[in-house]
Amino acid sequence: MPNQECATKRIPVCPSTWESAYELRKPGQTFDAVIKEMVTKEKRRQLFEDADRKMREGHFVGFKE
């Protein structure tokens, strides 16, 4: 990661949260990569959850064949 993109930030977390994040790391993976992956997965989960809710509420209209 280029230095101009990287900033050192301190994010206080409890020991159990740090341990959980540490366990998600793949060998050689940075915590930046772990967090990026978590954010990507959460955004995808939210997208599917929102789409599912809209389908249940009838906001989608089917295609005419």
Q: Tens digit of pLDDT for each residue in 7-48?
A: 788 889 999 999 999 999 999 999 999 999 999 999 999 999
Strand, helix or coil for residue 16: helix
Query: What pTM does this model have?
Result: 0.69
Give yes or no for residue 3 having a pLDDT over 70: no
Give 65 or 31, the one with higher predicted confidence. Answer: 31
Q: Are 11 and 32 in contact (CB under 8 A)?
A: no
Which two tokens mark 12?
A: 């206080």
Contact 21, 31 (CB under 8 A): yes
